[in-house]
Amino acid sequence: MGGTTGPGAPEPPPSGGTGAQRAGRTLTAEEDAEYQRLRRAAAVGHRRTRAAGASVLLVLALLLAPAAVVAAWAEATVDDRSRYVETVAPLASDPAIQQTVTERLTDEAVENVDVEAVTDELARTLREAGAPPRVVEGAEQLAGPLRSALRSVVERVVGEVVASDAFERAWEAANGEAHDALLRVLTGRDGGVVRAEGEDVQLDLGEVVDEVRDRLVDAGFEQAAAIPDSERTITLFHAEELSRAQNALRLLTVLGVWLPLVTLVLAALAVWAAPAHRLMLVIAALGTGVMMLVLLAVLAFARQRYLDSVPPAALPAEAAAEAFDTLVRFLRASALTLLVVSLITAAAAYLYGPGRLAHGVRSAVNRGAAAVGGALSRKGLRTGPTGRWLAGHRSLTTGVVIAAGAVTLMLWNYPTVGAVALVVGLVVLVLLALAVAASAAGGDEDTTEPAPGGSPS
């Protein structure tokens, strides 16, 4: 097709020369060099801006990570009734807690039996019956031995109750209201089995007291019926800053759902905004692991502070330690689980990078998969078109499998380190199976043997 020429036709650009066509005119070599320099400077500035923005997002995500874990734990403990019961249930079978409860209930029972009144009544009866003064005096001196014998019997009966299923049932019955009780502690409302009294968090053992009193009466100790119906409580926690802790936990409970989500979004945005996505993913994962170590250290410090704040008269050190460890064990497990996930994520991101070790690991895995797939193909176990499709879409299938594993962990209720190991193991096995299947595609015809030294598709 012919072109138009004439005074009004545009002049064609030059086909050669050392300059470049910019904005309707040809740049000289010096101008083009300056233009390229400015472009490179602008690109560097853009990368620096992205890196700075990604760094800010990552710092925010890492600072929020420990609070997000604590918030999720608090929200689950408060809102999930079964989770709370599962948290406190082991306390009923802990020997240190059982011993403390036995001693407290024994003291309460013995103190409410007037042994002196019994011996005085016995001495008066003997005196009125004309007993010798020596016998009457001996009866008056029975208060000490009788109190010791009474305490021994009461402690045995109480110990049997505390170690029996009745105590566990009473404990579970008390924790049947655990959801409301914990809310009372957090909000400072009165009433309930577990409640806040000033700076103390107390557990009402009234049902256990009733059980012990009934058993003592059935065993022949009618005086045990004098044990009053008033409540019996054990101080679980004593904290001078309980009100501040209540406010903090209320805030964490409100943020329990949103704070983890915001933290995850900030970390994802940091990886997306960074110029080097894979490197930022490694940094984010390792940073999260470090923050989980910080959280575990804070828990250890808080444990020691708690043990130092509990008077031995209120709760023995061993029982206090068991109570703390039991109540925060799910929080500690969450931090450990996230630490393991972070390390696995960092390792996976590194192995997909250009490092010498990463390249060596990938090459070894590919050679192993190719060897197994080739052996299967030579034995007639070829995957055919499916294998060739897998070989041509390895990045897609790898991403789908890894995403499926990540979604599984996110949907898993309270994943543990064991659950993470299970999911990661399954992901690795599936990826290896897909690699072997891709290597076992074989030729277009069943009788075709792969060429020696040939690489898998």
- Residues 104, 232 within the same domain: yes
List, as one string, the DSSP characters of 239-298.
Answer: -TTHHHHHHHHHHHHHTTTHHHHHHHHHHHHHHHHSSSHHHHHHHHHHHHHHHHHHHHHH
- Residues 97, 213 within the same domain: yes
H or E stretch covering 197: strand 194-197
Residue 100 in domain: yes
Residue 106 in domain: yes
- Residues 365, 228 within the same domain: no
Residue from 371, 390, 367, 368 nearest 437 by CA: 390
Residue from 454, 453, 440, 445 nearest 375 by CA: 440
CA dihedral sign, ordered 89, 90, 93, 94: negative
Position of tokens 């545009």? 10
Among 227, 249, 271, the domain-final residue is 249
Residue 133 in domain: yes
How far apart, in whole angstroms, are the C-alpha atoms of residue 77 and residue 83? Answer: 6
What's the Rg (C-alpha) of the chain?
Answer: 38
- Residue 262 near residue 62 (C-beta atoms within 8 A): no
Residue 321 in domain: no
β-sheet with 194-197: strand ranges across: 194-197, 200-204, 233-238
Among 191, 217, 249, the domain-final residue is 249
**Domain interval for residue 94:** 81-249
How far apart, in whole angstroms, are the C-alpha atoms of residue 354 and residue 349? Answer: 10
How far apart, in whole angstroms, are the C-alpha atoms of residue 291 and residue 400? Answer: 29
Residue 180 in domain: yes
Residue 40 in domain: no
Per-position pLDDT tens, the chain of length 457: 444 444 444 444 444 444 455 555 677 777 667 667 667 766 666 678 888 899 999 999 999 999 999 889 888 887 777 787 788 788 888 888 888 888 888 877 777 666 666 666 666 676 666 666 766 566 556 666 766 776 777 778 888 888 888 777 777 777 766 566 666 666 666 555 566 666 666 666 766 677 777 787 777 777 667 766 655 676 666 656 666 767 776 776 778 889 999 999 999 999 999 888 899 999 999 999 999 999 999 999 999 998 888 888 777 888 888 888 988 999 999 999 999 999 999 999 999 888 899 899 989 998 999 999 889 888 888 888 998 999 899 989 999 999 999 999 988 888 999 999 999 999 999 999 999 999 988 764 443 344 433 433 3
- Residues 244, 366 within the same domain: no
- Residue 14 per-residue DSSP state: P
Among 202, 222, 249, the domain-final residue is 249
Residue 205 in domain: yes
- Give how many domains the chain has, as a whole number: 2
Residue 368 in domain: yes
- Residues 234, 378 within the same domain: no
How far apart, in whole angstroms, are the C-alpha atoms of residue 421 and residue 418? Answer: 5
How far apart, in whole angstroms, are the C-alpha atoms of residue 23 and residue 437? Answer: 55
Residue from 212, 223, 221, 218 nearest 106 by CA: 212
Residue from 183, 214, 217 nearest 201 by CA: 183
